[in-house]
Amino acid sequence: MSDATMIATIPPVLTVHIIAASLALGLGPFAIYRRRRDVWHKAAGYVWVVAIAVTALSSFLIPASIFPVAQGMGAIHLLSIWALWTIWFGVRDARAGRIAAHRERMAGLYWQGLTVAGVLTLLPGRVLNEALFPARPDLGVWVVLLGGAMLLWVNLRRIGRRAAS
């Protein structure tokens, strides 16, 4: 199947999901790591939260192709439930003035949520894998392993910093 044919056959809900996830992935560092907590941080944060929510909610309309459990839902849908839960508590923390908790929740959602989900979309049998690696779907597995190793390294560094302080 050609790239143009594949793009034309992507269901609308998947298109919405991909656009929202891409927006969240791109906007996340600006919203989370901007030094000044000004109007730009707040605006980017609102858009980022909406993008994460749309990504998570739209996922429930996309059947699991890997590790399906029941009724089209799979293990990856647990990540969407966690994302919605984290958004709720992260926004609540910000409104209550618990900025450190807010910052930690949102950064955790970005790094663990988006990167884990993003890495998993590259597994063979997933649409993104077919789009990026049409001739060699097994390359997606190598990217997943590399991504997993990077996530492990980042988290071990974060744990080490916390233990040192």
pLDDT band, very low/low/confident/very high, at 6 (cuts 50, 70, 90): low
> What does the pLDDT read at residue 8?
65
Comparing 20 with 121, which gets the higher pLDDT? 20
Q: Return the higher-pLDDT residue of 15 and 126.
A: 15
Q: What is the model's pLDDT at position 24?
A: 92
Check residues 2 and 20 and name the one with the higher pLDDT.
20
pLDDT of residue 147: 76
Q: Give the per-residue pLDDT at 121.
A: 80
pLDDT at residue 10 greater than cutoff 60: yes
Residues 101-138: tens digit of each pLDDT:
999 999 999 988 877 787 778 888 777 788 888 888 88
Asked whether 160 and 154 are in contact (CB, 8 A), the reply is: no
Beta bridge partners of 70: 73
Tally of structural domains, the chain: 1
Q: How confident is the model at residue 48 (pLDDT cuts 50, 70, 90)?
A: very high
Report the percentage of the chain scoring pLDDT > 90. 33
Q: Which domain holds residue 113?
A: 3-164
